[in-house]
């Protein structure tokens, strides 16, 4: 068979072909892959949510949600993160208009809001630990720290990533690759915002009520 | 000072058992020999350039399969040690603690570090070739997946010489796996070995879904895709839905052990049952993850060696997708006996039975592919035919186990052990061996000796039945799993002895396979596959030279039917000398290729270091590992120079050297 | 050549089956039930095996037939249809047959699941005997609350009387299994699982811990003896008269990781079983059985035996 084959295509090599399929849409595939990754991350959070819901009554004689959480601080955090999602959206809009400086500016602003959110979270955790409510106090607190902390960890990674994207934008400009990178980080950021809405509802609102 | 070092060393290294000292010495000697050999032959540079930093899916696949074979050896030795201990009543060949470690490592290694990499190896070498792609969607990520698996596997195996092996069974049920009962580091090795390689598996799942959905050759609509990529797709869908649960669950167990959390502990309000639910939400899909690709392989082989189109293609596709979905709805059948209540048990018994339907359909379709075919019995086909009766009977016992009220008598007994070895060896291992024999010429460019292969097959097959059929009987006699010994008065020794003999035969079969490969390498020049199509194949991988060139396809194929290469050959035969290829109609153009990268192996090394730090609570290792990881990722992110083009001239001369595309 | 191969393959398939039939008809505990639960479970096994065989046996025969008839050789007369790839009728048949079989099996299973729910009391004129079972590392403690006695690794029950086992663990999770009397039930800390079993005839059986619990898990076999009611009463009296008492201190000793011979105790500390359950149950999900026994706010004593699971036992 191969002998037939080996002689054959040579003739066709000369036939001009308008269309060639050589290039899979690399950037498109990367975005698609990132969507699948986000879905897997949903499952990780889902597992932690499930653990929290199962264990939240198991306070082991220690403090429960109603005694621990101060909603005011959390509302400020929530506002910060929601605002950062909005500025992240503005960044993408600026990118689509080709405005590099505005894009970098909005991204930087997003990162600052994110950092403020993390700052508040660290303050909250420190405060709780000082009150004696630690990871080892009860199953409820283990699940609480794990769920909220995992979200915080994601935000931290997002921050480092965002700074890296800003630096790359500075040197490379708005190329197709950079467009895809900005789009994925903004996807990630909105995703974290959505997760936070659930954290806010399930952990804090339902906890205090 | 000296005393400190001494006491540290005696805790750090595993000591006390001559078996382990022997293993230590042989591991050390092998390492020294490898390093010396590599240095003497000046192969380090070659190794680094061509293998360790490669992003070529075929080479990554080969590395996966090689690792899988090494792990098969280790897991197999574990199995033989256990069978030796159980051969006669009241033996004390192994101490109970040692035995407990061995059954744990046997299970973990065979499933996670043998079956998984073997499967990923076959994904890697064949999926792009079968769908007419030049690489996977994310070559860098692919390399990272492999090295993460490798780091995880090495970390897990390290527990053999350092710190001590885990001993809580392959799924590490708490509370036994918690600090309270299991304070050693073995369980932490377990967590981090699996965690690191599991993240690699998750990324492979994403990678192959995108590859299959986005990179098929022009004209290859999903319903024209060969069956193996379909099976990979169904398996990867199960991976992306189940592995995140594993990651999360192991993270929780880690927090319990490392940070004093109370997820699954007996005190502090923890809930061990939650672990058992979560781990099986991953664990059950996991067994379908590994068996579905085997189904795909059998489909390819049965059609090739019957010289006939696969029967009931659509049924096959639907059956696999149904299995993939159902596999998520059955997890609680692993603990009918934990008092979930009749409603829950009835539900999970039903969903479990339902899986028998699509699986049965697949068996019928394979049979009717052979029906009115021209069957020949080369080694790949032998494994496939051996698989059918094996899987059918193993499936039968599976249905028996799913009858919830009867399961109260089967659970935790050797009946269960026999069942899952029956289907996992008979399904998965037979399938992967079949696939390896089938695709070997495409991978390495030479054929293996059929005679030795048949010896291996028959030793495996006979040994397999001798080993596991008696275990069904042992289960019905009341022998429970994981017992280190049993008394004479139970009347179990005859069956156990037969089982041990069977295991030994399987060990011999493995030696035959190693011999076969060594023999093949030695005589590779004489057995070279110059046609690229040694089995009269049907799918695209057989249309290119063996071994496949690094860019796979000089021009991308145009596909119009399921068995495109077979149809092409038919067209050529009918058209005679004037026939023109409809498969390859494009002209040579520069080919876009990813550049090799050292970052994946470095990242995995960092993960290994961090994982080791987590195991031993060495903060500076953790910090070093995680910062290294971050630096690597940033380095990769800032590097925009990740690909290159192969010029047309290079493709032309490469193809010409294989007798193709001559001008 | 091919013929000998087929014969060899058949031999490979049959050898273990023959061995099975020859070697072990006498001590297949699960297939030799001595109580109503085990008997029903055995029946279910047999019915489901027969149902499966309706599909499996023809498939095996068909495989042999097809592989034999359609092997490639010179001068073969059998048809060869390389493009035959689909038949709606045939495929409908083999989607259909398994569906029907599974439906039948499903009905049987669901019925069986409710009928054999382990916490469901057995129908009997006799009042059930209660035995409280605790899995310890690595021994079983049986308490007879009505008789006020306790035993270790030895279970005596009167024949023909339903026994209500309440099962818990003061150790890693175990599973309580007496193959000839019926299926197993997990022994889990913080929960009291209920399992009803009954021995129909007098005799000696054995039970085991079916779920792995560590080093000497393999030593957790125990003897089960079923006797007449009179003999049982006699035995209870003897234990009450002659055996030592199990004290709280004694229980702590017993809960330490070790293996034990058979022991009998004339009494045990009141509420020992309940305390064992509740000591792990703080903030737990209570099993329904536990709820009916224990008010939610129970007097939780400090878990004392934790220190008993010392590090060196688990290296």
Question: Which ipTM score applies to this complex?
Answer: 0.94
Mean pLDDT of chain B: 94
- Comparing alpha-carbon positions, the chain A residue that sits nearest to B207 is A33
pLDDT of the residue at C181 = 96
Q: A1 or A91: whose pLDDT is higher?
A: A91
Q: Is residue C203 part of a domain?
A: yes
What's the gap in Å between the CA of B267 and the closest CA on chain A? 8
Tell me the average pLDDT across C44-56: 93
The chains found to touch B (3+ Cβ pairs under 8 angstroms) are A, C
Q: Where residue C25 falls among pLDDT bands split at 50, 70, 90?
A: low
Chain B residue with the nearest C-alpha to that of A17: B586
Q: How many distinct structural domains can be found in chain C?
A: 1
- 3-state SS, residue B225: coil
Could you tell me if B536 lies within 8 Å of chain C, comparing CB atoms? no
Beta-carbon contacts of B290 under 8 Å, excluding residues fewer than 6 positions away, are B111, B115, B116, B119, B235, B424, B428
Percent of chain A surpassing pLDDT 90: 81
**Cα distance between residue B578 and residue B214, in whole Å:** 35
Q: HEC profile for B20-65?
A: HHHHHHHHHHHHHHHHHHHHHCCCHHHHHHHHHCCCCHHHHHHHHH
Residue A136 within any structural domain of the chain: yes
Please say whether the beta carbons of C268 and C245 come within 8 A. yes
List the one residue out of B208, B156, B168, B235 whose CA is nearest residue B427: B235
- Note whether residue A196 is domain-resident: yes
CA pair distance B89, B497, nearest whole angstrom = 9
Structural tokens at position C42 = 């055995």
As given in the structure block, the two tokens for residue C70 are 């359609």
Q: CA of C19 to nearest chain B CA: how many angstroms apart?
A: 8
Inside any domain, residue A8: no
Confidence of residue A25 (pLDDT cuts 50, 70, 90): confident
CB contact (8 A) between residue C23 and residue B495:
yes
Is a pLDDT exceeding 60 seen at residue C87?
Answer: yes
What are the angstrom distances between the C-alpha of A47 and each of B187, B248, B249? 22, 6, 8
Q: Residue C13 pLDDT more than 60?
A: no
Q: Convert the pLDDT of each residue in C152-211 to its tens digit.
A: 999 999 999 999 999 999 999 999 999 999 999 999 999 999 999 999 999 999 999 999
Residues in chain C: 315
Element (H, E) at B591: strand B591-594
Q: How far from B43 is each of B46, B63, B596, C199, CA to CA, in Å?
A: 5, 17, 18, 72
Set of chain C residues whose Cβ sits within 8 Å of the Cβ of B371:
66, 70
Please tell me whether the peptide bond between B175 and the residue prior to it is cis, using omega within 30 degrees of 0. Answer: yes
pLDDT category of residue A10 using cuts at 50, 70 and 90: very low
The Cα–Cα gap between C221 and C224 comes to 10
Q: How far is B6 from chain A (nearest CA, A)?
A: 34
Q: How many domains does chain A have?
A: 1
- Res A18: pLDDT: 38
Nearest CA-CA distance, residue B572 and chain A, Å: 8
Site from B20, B167, B319, B337 to mutate, C interface, most C CB atoms within 10 angstroms: B337
List, as ranges, residues 294-313 from C with C-beta within 8 Å of B.
303, 306, 309, 311
Nearest-CA distance B594 → chain A (Å): 11
Quote the pLDDT of residue C7. Answer: 53
Q: How far is CA B22 from the centre of its chain?
A: 28
C299 at A interface, C-beta within 8 A: no
Q: Is C177 on the interface with B (CB under 8 A)?
A: yes
- Is B259 close to A17, i.e. CB distance below 8 A? no
What CATH number did the domain enclosing C138 receive? 2.60.40.420
CB spacing of B342 vs C114 below 8 angstroms: yes
Domain contains A4: no
What range does the domain containing A138 cover?
27-208
Residue A37 lies in a domain: yes
Q: Which residues of B touch C48 (CB under 8 A)?
A: 399-400, 403, 406
Judged on CB neighbours under 10 Å (0-12, 13-18, 19+), A167 is: middle
Q: Quick check: C1 pLDDT over 90?
A: no
A24–B215 C-beta distance less than 8 A: yes
Q: What is the pLDDT of residue B30?
A: 86
pLDDT of residue C314: 38
Q: Are the CB atoms for C225 and C131 separated by under 8 Å?
A: no
> pLDDT by residue (tens digit) across A148-188?
999 999 999 999 999 999 999 999 999 999 999 999 999 99
Interval B482-511: pLDDT, tens: 999 999 999 999 999 999 999 999 999 999
Please list the ranges in chain B whose pLDDT falls under 50: 663
Q: What CA–CA distance (Å, rounded) separates B477 from C205?
A: 12
Q: Residue A52: which of A175, A191, A209, A201 has the closest Cα?
A: A201
> CA C280, CA C275: separation in Å to the nearest integer?
9
What is the predicted pLDDT for the residue at B259? 95
Structurally, at CATH architecture level, domain B53-597+642-656 sits in: Up-down Bundle (1.20)
Instruction: Residue B408: name the closest of C170, C197, C50, C53 by CA.
Output: C197
Q: What residues make up the domain containing C186? A: 129-283
Between CA B48 and CA B71 the distance in angstroms is 22
Helix axes C36-69, C2-23, angle to 10 degrees: 170
CB of C283 less than 8 A from some CB of A: yes
Q: How far apart are CA A33 and CA A15, in angstroms?
A: 36
- The sheet carrying C263-265 orders its strands as C193-197, C163-169, C129-136, C139-144, C149-152, C263-265
User: What is C179-246 written as a DSSP string?
Assistant: TTTEEEEEE-TT--EEEEE--SS-EEEEEEE-S--STTGGG--EEEEEE-HHHHHHHHHHHHHHSPBP
> Do residue C45 and residue B364 have CB atoms under 8 angstroms apart?
no
User: For residue A152, is it within any domain?
Assistant: yes
The string of pLDDT tens digits covering residues B72-122 is 999 999 999 999 999 999 998 999 999 999 999 999 999 999 999 999 999
Q: Do A29 and B660 touch (CB under 8 A)?
A: no
For A128-145, what is the mean pLDDT? 94
The alpha-carbon radius of gyration of chain C (Å, integer) is: 26
pLDDT at C284 over 70: no
């Amino acid at each position: 068979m191969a002998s037939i084959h080996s002689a054959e295509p040579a003739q066709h090599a000369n036939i001009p072909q308008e269309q060639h399929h050589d290039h899979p849409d690399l950037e498109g595939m990367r975005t698609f892959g990132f969507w699948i990754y986000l879905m897997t991350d949903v499952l990780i959070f889902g597992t932690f949510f499930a653990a929290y819901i199962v264990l939240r009554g198991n306070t082991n004689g220690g403090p429960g949600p109603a005694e621990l959480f101060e909603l005011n601080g959390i509302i400020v955090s929530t506002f910060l993160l929601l605002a950062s999602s909005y500025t992240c959206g503005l960044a993408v809009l600026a990118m689509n208009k080709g405005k590099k400086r505005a894009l970098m500016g909005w991204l930087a602003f997003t990162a600052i809001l994110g950092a403020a959110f993390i700052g508040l979270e660290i303050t909250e955790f420190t405060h709780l630990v000082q009150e004696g409510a630690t990871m080892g106090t009860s199953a409820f607190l283990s699940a609480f720290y794990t769920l909220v902390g995992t979200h915080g960890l994601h935000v931290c990674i997002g921050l480092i990533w965002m700074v890296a994207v800003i630096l790359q934008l500075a040197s490379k400009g708005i190329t197709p690759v950079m467009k895809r990178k900005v789009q994925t980080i903004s996807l990630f950021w909105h995703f974290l915002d959505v997760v936070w809405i659930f954290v806010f509802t399930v952990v804090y609102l339902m906890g205090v009520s | 000072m000296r005393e400190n070092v001494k006491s540290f060393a005696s805790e750090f290294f595993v000591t006390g058992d001559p078996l382990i000292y022997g293993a230590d010495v042989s591991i050390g000697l092998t390492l020294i020999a490898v390093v010396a050999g590599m240095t003497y032959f000046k192969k380090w540079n070659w190794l680094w350039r061509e293998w360790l930093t490669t992003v070529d899916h075929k080479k990554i696949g080969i590395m996966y399969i090689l690792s899988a074979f090494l792990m098969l050896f280790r897991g197999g030795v574990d199995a033989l040690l256990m069978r030796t201990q159980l051969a006669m009543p009241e033996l004390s060949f192994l101490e109970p603690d040692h035995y407990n470690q061995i059954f744990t490592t046997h299970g973990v290694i065979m499933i996670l570090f043998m079956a998984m990499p073997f499967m990923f190896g076959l994904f890697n070498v064949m999926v792009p070739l079968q769908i007419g792609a030049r690489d996977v969607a994310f070559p860098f990520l692919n390399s990272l997946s492999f090295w993460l698996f490798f780091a995880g596997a090495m970390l897990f195996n390290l527990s053999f010489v350092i710190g001590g092996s885990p001993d809580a069974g392959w799924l590490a049920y708490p509370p036994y796996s918690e600090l309270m009962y299991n304070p050693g580091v073995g369980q932490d090795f377990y967590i981090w070995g699996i965690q690191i390689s599991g993240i690699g598996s998750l990324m492979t799942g994403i990678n192959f879904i995108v590859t299959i959905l986005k990179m098929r050759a022009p004209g290859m609509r999903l319903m024209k895709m060969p069956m193996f990529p379909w099976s990979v797709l169904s398996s990867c869908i199960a991976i992306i839905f189940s592995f995140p649960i594993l990651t999360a669950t192991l993270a929780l167990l880690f927090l319990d052990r490392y940070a004093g959390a109370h997820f699954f502990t007996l005190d502090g309000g923890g809930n061990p049952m939650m672990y058992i639910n979560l781990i099986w939400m991953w664990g059950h899909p996991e067994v379908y993850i590994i068996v579905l690709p085997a189904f795909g392989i059998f489909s390819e082989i049965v059609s090739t060696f019957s010289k006939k189109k696969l029967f009931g293609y659509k049924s096959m596709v639907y059956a696999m997708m149904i299995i993939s979905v159902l596999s998520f709805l059955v997890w609680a059948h692993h603990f009918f006996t934990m008092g979930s209540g009749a409603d829950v048990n009835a539900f999970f018994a039903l969903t479990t039975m339902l899986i028998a339907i699509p699986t049965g359909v697949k068996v019928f379709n394979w049979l009717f592919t052979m029906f009115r075919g021209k069957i020949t019995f080369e080694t790949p086909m032998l494994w496939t035919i051996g698989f059918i009766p094996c899987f059918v009977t193993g499936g039968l016992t599976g249905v028996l186990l799913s009858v919830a009220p009867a399961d109260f008598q089967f659970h935790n007994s050797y009946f269960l052990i026999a069942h899952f070895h029956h289907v996992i060896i008979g399904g998965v291992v037979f399938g992967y061996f079949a696939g390896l024999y089938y695709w070997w010429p495409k991978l390495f460019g030479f054929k293996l000796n059929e005679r030795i292969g048949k010896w291996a097959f028959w030793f495996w097959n006979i040994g397999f039945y001798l080993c596991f059929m008696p275990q069904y009987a042992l289960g019905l006699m009341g022998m429970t799993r994981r017992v280190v010994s049993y008394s004479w008065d139970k009347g179990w020794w005859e069956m156990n002895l037969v089982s041990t003999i069977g295991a030994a035969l399987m060990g011999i079969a493995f030696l035959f396979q190693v011999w076969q490969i060594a023999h093949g390498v030695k005589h590779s020049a004489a057995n070279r596959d110059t046609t690229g199509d040694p089995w009269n194949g049907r799918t695209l991988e057989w249309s290119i030279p063996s071994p496949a060139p690094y860019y796979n396809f000089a021009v991308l194929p145009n596909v119009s039917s399921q068995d495109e290469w077979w149809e092409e050959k038919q067209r050529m035969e009918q058209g005679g000398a004037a026939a023109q290829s409809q498969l390859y109609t494009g002209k040579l153009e520069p080919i876009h290729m990813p550049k090799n990268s050292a970052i994946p192996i470095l990242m995995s090394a960092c993960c290994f270091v961090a994982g080791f730090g987590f195991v031993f609570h060495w903060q500076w290792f953790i910090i070093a590992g995680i910062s290294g990881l971050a630096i690597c990722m940033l380095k990769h992110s800032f590097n925009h120079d990740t690909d290159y083009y192969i010029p047309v001239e290079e493709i032309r001369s490469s193809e010409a050297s294989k007798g193709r595309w001559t001008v | 050549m091919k013929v000998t191969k087929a014969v060899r393959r058949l031999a490979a398939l049959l050898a273990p089956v023959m061995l099975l039939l020859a070697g072990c008809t006498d001590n297949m505990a699960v297939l030799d039930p001595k109580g109503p639960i085990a008997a029903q479970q055995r029946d279910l096994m047999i019915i489901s095996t027969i149902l499966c065989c309706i599909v499996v046996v023809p498939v095996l025969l068909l495989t042999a037939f097809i592989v034999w008839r359609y092997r490639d050789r010179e001068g073969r007369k059998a048809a060869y249809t390389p493009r035959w790839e689909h038949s709606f009728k045939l495929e409908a048949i083999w989607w259909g047959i398994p569906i029907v079989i599974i439906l039948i099996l499903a009905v049987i299973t669901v019925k069986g699941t409710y009928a054999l729910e382990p916490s469901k009391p057995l129908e009997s004129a006799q009042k059930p005997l209660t035995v409280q079972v605790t899995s310890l590392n690595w021994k079983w403690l049986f308490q007879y609350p009505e008789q006020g006695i306790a035993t270790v690794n030895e279970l005596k029950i009167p024949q023909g009387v339903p026994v209500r086992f309440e099962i818990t663990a003061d150790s890693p999770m175990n599973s309580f299994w007496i193959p000839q009397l019926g299926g197993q039930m997990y022994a889990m800390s913080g929960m009291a699982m209920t399992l009803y079993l009954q021995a129909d005839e007098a005799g000696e059986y054995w039970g085991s811990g079916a779920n792995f619990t560590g080093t000497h898990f393999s030593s957790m076999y125990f003897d089960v003896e079923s006797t007449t009611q009179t003999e049982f009463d006699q035995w209870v009296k003897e234990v009450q008269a002659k055996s030592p008492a199990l004290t709280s201190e004694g229980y702590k000793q017993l809960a330490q990781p070790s293996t034990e011979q058979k022991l009998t105790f004339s009494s045990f500390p009141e509420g020992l079983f309940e305390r064992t359950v509740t000591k792990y149950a703080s903030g737990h999900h209570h099993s329904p059985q536990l709820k009916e026994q224990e008010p939610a706010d129970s007097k939780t004593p400090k878990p004392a035996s934790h220190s008993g699971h010392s590090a060196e036992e688990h290296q």
